[in-house]
Amino acid sequence: MAFVTRQFVRSVSSSSTASASAKKIIVKHVTVIGGGLMGAGIAQVAAATGHTVVLVDQTEDILAKSKKGIEESLRRVAKKKFAENPKAGDEFVEKTLSSISTSTDAASVVHSTDLVVEAIVENLKAKNELFKRLDKFASEHTIFASNTSSLQITNIANATTRQDRFAGLHFFNPVPLMKLVEVIKTPMTSQKTYESLIDFTKVLGKHPVSCKDTPGFIVNRLLLPYLMEAIRLYERGDASKEDIDTAMKLGAGYPLGPFELLDYVGLDTTKFIMDGWYEMDPKNPLFQPIPSLNKLVAENKFGKKSGEGYYKYK
């Protein structure tokens, strides 16, 4: 009897697993909204792994630059990957590019897509307006995902009627090289959606990690407070920024010191994220405003991209 019971339980369990797996969405067609560095990178890795991709942005000029950037990136990848067979490398580049089409009208291309990945400006109103509009035109099975690094996924998903088919997919820059993707599951995200996105990121050749919809997710929630504490250490006069950078590179094995990383990421970007977190939780000591950061941003000193931040660049 015990044997029969075990067999029955095993059979039911196997059937349930198979049934759950059958319900998952196999992503084949991807629409990427935003042709900047992140959006173009996501489009590239999706197309390179056999997906049909539509890249969307506001103007044809932006899309032409995005497509050119993707081609240049693909040629770098091909040169390394197909070093012994340049012809195969050329074929890889051409095949990948042929899988990417472009459009300036998102609503007209989402009707047949399996997944929409948004990578536009970090502005909640802009994201809400975009998803609210696309929600009316996308197929019922279509999953929506945001690549936001600082906004809460729940607040973006609430602009739609598909909260169960909405999640975060946080890629890292540069997308073709960075292996990590944070998959963010809100309280409303269905298990089917979550598992579909985990499978999708694995097909891309990425390593997915799961996180709840908490400010900064995993990486930024740990990284940003570390960067802020480095600034506070410097502001108190406890150590010079040069010595802090050197200490973290030689003592912790980090490739960049905190001030080098701040200047690389962009002080305006960092301030924007920290301001958002402070607004959400003003009593959290980790999120308190940083005087020197605020001063530099007010002076338009954003780091490497502006020529000066915590360091000066020629």
Known binding-site residue numbers: 34-39, 57, 73, 80, 122, 127, 149, 173, 305
3-state secondary structure 128-194: HHHHHHHHHHCCCCCEEEECCCCCCHHHHHCCCCCHHHEEEEEECCCCCCCCEEEEEECCCCCHHHH
| Catalytic-role residue among 51, 170, 260, 308 | 170
108 is catalytic: no
158 is catalytic: no
Pair of tokens at residue 219: 């990486």
Pair of tokens at residue 86: 């340049």
| Catalytic-role residue among 66, 99, 147, 182 | 182
Cα 267 to Cα 265: distance, rounded to the nearest angstrom: 7
| Catalytic-role residue among 146, 196, 220, 260 | 220
Cα 188 to Cα 281: distance, rounded to the nearest angstrom: 22
- Cα 241 vs. chain centroid, distance in angstroms? 29
**Binding positions for NAD(+):** 34-39, 57, 122, 127, 149, 173, 305
**Binding positions for CoA:** 73, 80, 149
CB neighbour list of residue 202: distance below 8 Å, 6 or more residues apart: 208
Reference 66, options 38, 36, 32; nearest CA is 36
149 is catalytic: yes
User: Which residues carry out catalysis?
Assistant: 149, 170, 182, 220
